[in-house]
Chains A and B, each alone.
Chain A
Amino acid sequence: MPSKDEREAFDEVFLPHMAEAYRLAQWLTGSASDAEDIVQDAALRAYRGIKNFGAVNARAWSLTIVRNTAYSWLMKNRPKTVVFTNDLSAAEQQELEHEGPQGTRVETPEEIALFKADAEEIQKALAQLQPQFREVIVLREINQMNYRDIAEITNVPIGTVMSRLSRARQLLIARLGDRK
């Protein structure tokens, strides 16, 4: 049974990051009600595991639990949405090479496809990304985490965070920016 000190530790370590935890869960799953379940589950996991706190910092530690909880929740409830593969799919590769921002045609600054996207469009574009690209972009753009913390949370080297972030952005720009 967790002790009184553990409850205090939980209050100090996890509670201050509730809003971020909720936001992360919401954007990873694309659903507000799923996010509530996930944060509640993650809080319980954090409480039970509060003795293990000490990875790097409270924020990264808390969000790591939320991220992992979100994935186990998705695996259980919506397994089709969580497909991890190591590389870009052939279609995405195609998209990057032929239609993406790195297309061979040199654009002048005036021609750059700048874009405005509303929440729904971004949500849709994010949902189309593979999970490992989606999570880095959410942690960076929504949670404003630095590379070191993103690496900690997603459990990959910083170099991998950098290349995933770069690819995720290229894919999003290709999808959001090239709409006519």
Chain B
Amino acid sequence: MKMIASVTDNDELQLNAYCDGELDLASAAAFERRLADDELLRAQYARLMSLRQAFGSLPQSDVPAGLRARIQSTLDAERPSRASVLRQRRWSLQALAAAAVFGAVISSSVMMTIGHFGQREEVASQLVAGHIRSLLAPQPFDVASSDRHTVKPWFTARLPESPQVPDLAAQGFVLLGGRVDVIGHDPVATIVYKHAAHTVSVTTLRPGQSVSDQAIAGYNVRSWSDADFTYVAVSDLPAADLATFERVFSAGSPSPEVK
């Protein structure tokens, strides 16, 4: 293949990543400086943006009326017909209950301030929300390091109390890094591990809190405590594998140093 013009393949890829918001802040700033100086690059940028505008002006089609209902009845047909009417009614009650829970999540910070009603479930919901948000971000962590000696001081610099960060690579859980989540109004430390294609977020809370093991939005939540912290792990790992994670994490944490 012959070489063409002066927008190189690499620049072209960077330009696309820049337009798609996939460059980190430093790279984006560096790229903007190049863009200001390079006329060819700027011309190509303008083309990409006008393509994007063309897509953006397309009418957004809605789900056709009746499709949702057809899907529901297809799924109903998957069940024995005997109980389906009864169940149908129960589903709508459950939908109501789910809506109530959802409302509770939205107003969670207010709830936390007013009282402790349903606090355990609030915490679990917020932790799952934090986990999901982290998966949607370019990286599920604020500090990227497979070195526990980098992650631990990073927490120490930001939080009043920071957890031990065990290296569990030998047990199949590779340390990715750490992030700070906010539960209620309190910043808390979350350590992020990778196990095959799965991400595990383990958050450390003040000791003595109890969060029940459960599944929320398809993610498993598992909690345990030691003398210093309550730990809550959130992952799409099956419950049994998350139990394994608890075991290796507990075994991997040396007893916390005295501060």
In the complex, what residue of chain A is closest to B238 when comparing beta carbons?
A54
Are A109 and B218 closer than 8 Å at their CB atoms? Answer: no
Are A55 and B236 closer than 8 Å at their CB atoms? Answer: yes
* B115 interface residue per 8 A CB criterion: no
- Which of the segments B55-63, B142-150, B181-189, B224-232 contacts the partner chain? B55-63
* A71 interface residue per 8 A CB criterion: no
* A83 interface residue per 8 A CB criterion: no
Are A162 and B75 closer than 8 Å at their CB atoms? Answer: no
Are A9 and B218 closer than 8 Å at their CB atoms? Answer: yes
- Shortest B74–chain A CB gap in Å is 6
- Shortest B87–chain A CB gap in Å is 7
Contact indicator per residue, chain A 15-30, by CB within 8 Å of chain B (1) or not (0): 0001100110010000
Contact of A115 (CB < 8 Å), options: B21, B50, B98: B50
* B85 interface residue per 8 A CB criterion: no
- Which of the segments A73-81, A97-105, A127-135 contacts the partner chain? A97-105
Are B198 and A104 closer than 8 Å at their CB atoms? Answer: no
Contact of B217 (CB < 8 Å), options: A1, A47, A58: A58
In the complex, what residue of chain B is closest to A22 when comparing beta carbons?
B63
* A176 interface residue per 8 A CB criterion: yes
In the complex, what residue of chain A is closest to B16 when comparing beta carbons?
A166
Given contacts A32-B64, A141-B55, contact A12 B217 (CB under 8 A): yes
Contacting residues, chain A, for B237 (C-beta < 8 A):
54
Contact of A10 (CB < 8 Å), options: B1, B17, B75: B75
* A44 interface residue per 8 A CB criterion: yes
Are B136 and A113 closer than 8 Å at their CB atoms? Answer: no
Contacting residues, chain B, for A82 (C-beta < 8 A):
none
Are B64 and A40 closer than 8 Å at their CB atoms? Answer: no
Are B75 and A47 closer than 8 Å at their CB atoms? Answer: yes
Are A19 and B75 closer than 8 Å at their CB atoms? Answer: no
Are B79 and A2 closer than 8 Å at their CB atoms? Answer: yes
Task: Count residues of chain A with CB under 8 A from any CB of chain B.
Answer: 63
* A72 interface residue per 8 A CB criterion: no
Contacting residues, chain A, for B13 (C-beta < 8 A):
162-163, 166
Contacting residues, chain B, for A170 (C-beta < 8 A):
12
Are B80 and A1 closer than 8 Å at their CB atoms? Answer: yes
* A142 interface residue per 8 A CB criterion: yes
Given contacts A54-B198, A119-B59, A122-B54, contact A114 B47 (CB under 8 A): yes
Contact indicator per residue, chain A 123-161, by CB within 8 Å of chain B (1) or not (0): 000000000000000001110001110000000000000
Name B's A-contacting residues (CB within 8 A): 1-2, 4-7, 9, 12-13, 16-17, 20-22, 39-40, 42-44, 46-48, 50-64, 67-68, 70-71, 74-75, 78-80, 87, 91, 94-95, 98, 132, 135-136, 138, 197-199, 215, 217-218, 236-238
* A-B residue pairs, 6 tightest by C-beta: A54-B236, A141-B55, A117-B54, A43-B71, A114-B50, A166-B16
12 A–B contacts from the bound complex (CB under 8 Å): A18-B63, A18-B71, A22-B62, A36-B67, A44-B74, A102-B5, A112-B46, A141-B52, A146-B20, A146-B22, A163-B13, A165-B16
